[in-house]
Amino acid sequence: MKNKPLYALGSVDNALLVLHMLRDRGRLTVTDVAVELGIARSTAHRLLAMLVYRDFAVQDEQHTYLPGPFLAATPAVPGGSALRELRARTRPAMEALCARLQETVNLMVRVGTEVRFLDSVESPQLLHVGDRRGTILPAHLASGGKALLAVLPPEHLWELYADHPARERAVLTHELAEVRARGHALNIEGTEQGVSAIGAALRNGRGTAVGALSISVPSARFGPDQVATYAEELRRAIAEAEQSLTDFPD
């Protein structure tokens, strides 16, 4: 029998109960949560909004809440120590890139058809893209995710997207070919309004892609004239980071 903690935090407990409800029911409304927990609708809405923000829930067109990618995702990479090592080895290059551009820099890995943000170095500018650590995005929309998909053998790629309509796969094929030709991928407000990004794959000494770096920028500062500069600085950061990844495992 479990005893309730002596100094239980009601807001935390309610958030965890909502997670149980999402898992068990599959879909929730604000009213469902308010009635079940005996709280005001405004409080229920705030709880759900925070779960959406942290990727534990998503909201559909009918304003119903569904389990988010974090609840459905599988472990990122076998062995948490490998992820810690990847963060530690790439952090200096990320910090240097952020210092040069004054924009937020991210490290991510691909998990199936999603990417997980492992680390961020946040821009010091007043208007900037915030820390992305813990965020999960569709790989075919995120800049770093596209860069990681572009290095996959075609047969592996289409195993991942076997359920996608043929037209969508054709569009993705064309975009990934452009990514390979350029050496970097772009995300122009594809995952968040007002936010654009450029990303490229990170490789170890055997040429295996082990992650990706991206630069996240408010779209107001991501005009065509700036892309070339971002791409050049990203290539420089990738080269710096890869120097520390020569013996990193596949």
Residue ranges and CATH numbers for the domains of the chain are 10-72 (1.10.10.10), 80-243 (3.30.450.40)
8 A C-beta contact, residue 202 and residue 241 = yes
Question: Long-range contacts made by residues 95-101, C-beta under 8 angstroms, separation at least 24?
Answer: 95/121, 96/237, 96/240, 97/121, 97/213, 97/215, 97/233, 97/234, 97/236, 97/237, 98/122, 98/123, 100/233, 101/215, 101/229, 101/230, 101/233
Q: Which amino acid is at 95?
A: E
pLDDT tens digits along 14-48? 888 888 788 767 788 999 899 888 889 999 999 99
pTM above 0.85, yes or no: no
Residue 223 pLDDT greater than 70, yes or no: yes
Structural tokens at position 241: 């980071």
Per-residue confidence (pLDDT) for residue 78, from 0 to 100: 41
Per-residue confidence (pLDDT) for residue 72, from 0 to 100: 56
Question: Long-range contacts made by residues 173-178, C-beta under 8 angstroms, separation at least 24?
Answer: 175/146, 176/146, 176/149, 176/150
Residue 4 pLDDT greater than 60, yes or no: no
171 secondary structure, DSSP code: H
Mean pLDDT of the chain: 88
- Mean pLDDT lowest among 81-85, 93-97, 156-160, 232-236: 81-85
8 A C-beta contact, residue 202 and residue 242 = yes
Higher confidence at residue 88 or residue 84?
A: 88
pLDDT tens digits along 125-174? 999 999 888 788 999 999 999 999 999 998 889 888 888 898 999 999 99
